Structure 1
Amino acid sequence: MPKHVSVVSTGAELPGDPIDNATLERLCGPLPEDVLAGIEVRRRHWIVDPRTGTHRTGTAEMATAAARQALERAGMAASDVDLLVTSTASPDHPLPVVGTYVQERLGLERCAVIEVRAGCVGAVQAMDYARRLLADGTYRTALVIGAESISPLLADVYLGTDPMAVRMRDRLTVYTFGDGAGAALLRAGDEVPEPSVPDSVFATRCLGGARRPGMLVVGGGTDAPPAVQRQRRRLMDIRLDITGTAAFGPRVFVEGLRDMLDRSGLALDRIDACVLPEGNAEYFSREFEEAGLSAQDHAALQKCVVENLADVGATGSAAVPLALDAGWTAGRITPGDTVLLLAIEASRYLYAGLTLTWEAPTPPAGSAAGV
């Protein structure tokens, strides 16, 4: 029989002080007011000093800090962890993987380490993978961590450049993204009979097999010889298909939502918290109806959405765990709640969803990350 698996705590790490839009306006020029209102990001945190580009921390350090907070809140020691599943698209090094550095910093000589190379969907995929390995008895305690350091690519867009000379599409990228890490601590309990209705349902799919990428990070890969890469305007670059993402992204979200509701047998009005960290921006959600989401379902969705985009920006692999942590520590997610984690990723138009019943009691006030 499978073992019961619970999320017992979460943790979060946001580097440095928040960077507001006025600061970015001085560094890379303004965005039109309607565009700024549409992306809905008011502040974000970066690992780099926005004025100098100096690194103040890194992906593995943030991941470790989030993991330690999750362990502290659960009253558990790092030695209790026998599985680490991490997700990032911005590791400290291509190899070894970020999870092994977290393992080292936690003082674990031996630990199972698995890493998902992904953006927004990665943490949800990682959580389901960990959940299955705990349920079948392979491991007992897992840390699932999503961490991202995007700011080094962003600062390179404007450093040493006249702010008014920065292209508008590049400004939009700079204003949109933030850095951070979020962790969830999962624990296997007693064996339970196979339920007639699954306690947790997972789905993931890529819908972009016939489309150009919605987001592309260029540099440091094997798409071209190193000598050719060094001749590019920037050694590494992040490129967004803004038009394509705005048009096709909502369809990915609606299909992902429908898939999760169909698989779980849930109606939207039975979901207490839909952790949707980046798909709720105004420029995006206004297209839901055209993508096939009824006005009634859209209204029901707005009542249960848990997100923190305005405070942290788009944070890739960290997005879902950061929003989950913010919702839990604020008392928005409480024991007994039916929770839907739903992430969409523009890179090749993917979605990943996971349902679960929340069991962890609300932590004491004042334990939230510095959002």
Structure 2
Amino acid sequence: MATNVFSARIVGTGSYLHGEAIDNKQVEVLLGPVPEDILEGIQVKQRHWMIDPETGEHLVTNSEMAAGAAAAALERAGLEPGEVDLIVMSTASPEHLLPPAVTYVQQRLGIEECATIEVRSGCAGFVEAADIARGYLERGAFRTALVIGSEAISPLLVPMYRGIDPERIRMRDRLVAYTFGDGAGAIVLRAEEAEPETRTGVLGSSILTMGGAKKPGMQVIGGSTHAPQHKQQQAKRLLDLKVDVVESGKYIPHMITRSLRDLLRASDLAAEDIALWVVPEGNAGYMTSELEAAGLLTDEWLALRDKVYENIERVGATGSAAVPLALDEAARTGRIRSGDKVMLLAIETSKWKYAGMTLVWA
């Protein structure tokens, strides 16, 4: 007896960015300036924050942003929230440790019953979430899945500058504040019957944590169970965001090289087959110079560097939201055409992770 073969296809994308964009001049008023050459390296010219920059008050929540992006993706797909069987969400900045933020998204969308899964990760998390969702769809367990990446990073920035003279703020704290933004992005995946020999939907994926023996490159410390509560309350900041910029510059070229090779092999594709590479938090020219300095200008990179789509200068580094925000922008601006082979690749420095996926654009 023949069994149905399903492919998971993207049928809608959506984004949510709160309020008006905050440019570098506005950040300079809050935290002081950074040298122009460093600004050029950071690449970010504007970002959106879920807070009031002056008071630090929250104007929207993580799950509200996630629900906004999800609603936009459903509208573009021509689907109602009630048709969603599964929601998989990635975030490193939920409102609460429990319940999972994804359950609040379900509630905000008015979905009484559906399966929900939450991935606790940063940049790589969205692609991990998409891979989980497509597994359920391809085996016929569900028909329609929402995959969401959402981050609220600006609340971690407020203690760095609120009530402090900008001239007294450390340069490393200024760099963090200039780098990060908030937002949410989402896709709708739909299970469609496919011919066994036809390559449609998701073609392949690859995930790996390369930092099993390395110190984290990024940490959010505080407000959890790593230390007694009374000791945490004595810390300078209840929550602290730490970024190892130097080690990131050294190690990311190796991660890019490894992830490209593994993902293309897993997808049975050559670099020349890819029409668009969504790598939202890296400037292609800057990465070329870094790879060249590390002696890692591979044939794969040279074939792909002119196909990179990025939007970090417009939204900042947005963690789990980075890939879907860039993908939605590329879709809305016509950079992707039906039948294109698209590569999604996210590099995460928290414990040196990457997650990648290739798919045929429907």
Which band: TM-score by shorter chain?
over 0.9
Q: Distance in 2 between matches of 1:197 and 1:294?
A: 31
Corresponding letter in the other structure for 1:231: Q
Q: Distance in 1 between matches of 2:301 and 2:259?
A: 14
Say which of 237, 240, 246 aligns to 1:234.
237
For the 8 Å contact 2:201–2:360, the answer to whether it is kept is: no
Q: Which residue of 1 aligns with 2:337?
A: 334
Q: Which residue of 1 aligns with 2:208?
A: 205
Corresponding letter in the other structure for 1:30: P
Q: Aligned with 2:111: secondary structure?
A: coil
Tell me by how many angstroms 1:197 deviates.
10
Q: Which residue of 2 aligns with 1:368?
A: none
1:79-132 per-position Cα deviation (integer Å, ceiling 9, x unaligned): 010100000000011111111011101111111000100000000011011011
Segments of 4+ in structure 1 off by > 3 A?
A: 194-199, 281-285, 290-293, 295-299
Distance 1:332 1:191, change over 3 A: closer
Q: Distance in 1 between matches of 2:220 and 2:204?
A: 31
Q: Which residue of 2 aligns with 1:166?
A: 169
Tell me by how many angstroms 1:220 deviates.
1.1
Q: Which residue of 2 aligns with 1:316?
A: 319
Q: Which residue of 2 aligns with 1:256?
A: 259
User: Considering only aligned residues, what root-mean-square deviation do their CA atoms show, in Å?
Assistant: 1.6
Distance 1:285 1:236, change over 3 A: farther
Q: Aligned with 1:251: secondary structure?
A: helix
For the 8 Å contact 1:275–1:341, the answer to whether it is kept is: yes
Tell me by how many angstroms 1:192 deviates.
3.0
Q: Which residue of 2 aligns with 1:93?
A: 96
Corresponding letter in the other structure for 1:252: M
Say which of 23, 29, 37 aligns to 1:26.
29
Q: Aligned with 1:100: secondary structure?
A: helix
**Structure 1 gap segments, 5+ residues each:** 360-371
Q: Distance in 2 between matches of 1:291 and 1:350?
A: 19
Q: How many residue pairs get matched? A: 359
Q: Which residue of 1 aligns with 2:248?
A: 245
Q: Distance in 1 between matches of 2:279 and 2:213?
A: 26
Q: Distance in 2 between matches of 1:215 and 1:247?
A: 14
Q: Distance in 2 between matches of 1:295 and 1:111?
A: 44
Q: Aligned with 1:178: secondary structure?
A: coil
For the 8 Å contact 1:49–1:56, the answer to whether it is kept is: yes
1:131 maps to 2:130: no
TM-score, normalization by structure 2 = 0.96
Distance 1:181 1:35, change over 3 A: same
1:232-289 per-position Cα deviation (integer Å, ceiling 9, x unaligned): 1100010011111111122112111111122223222221010001133765542122
Matched ranges for 1:1-371 at <5 A:
1-193=4-196, 199-280=202-283, 284-294=287-297, 297-359=300-362
Q: Distance in 2 between matches of 1:232 and 1:64?
A: 34
Tell me by how many angstroms 1:5 deviates.
1.8
Q: Distance in 1 between matches of 2:138 and 2:303?
A: 32
Q: Distance in 1 between matches of 2:183 and 2:204?
A: 27
Deviates more, 1:254-263 or 1:173-182: 254-263
Deviates more, 1:255-264 or 1:175-184: 255-264
For the 8 Å contact 1:3–1:190, the answer to whether it is kept is: yes
For the 8 Å contact 1:39–1:281, the answer to whether it is kept is: no
Q: Which residue of 2 aligns with 1:369?
A: none
Q: Aligned with 1:172: secondary structure?
A: helix
For the 8 Å contact 2:261–2:300, the answer to whether it is kept is: no
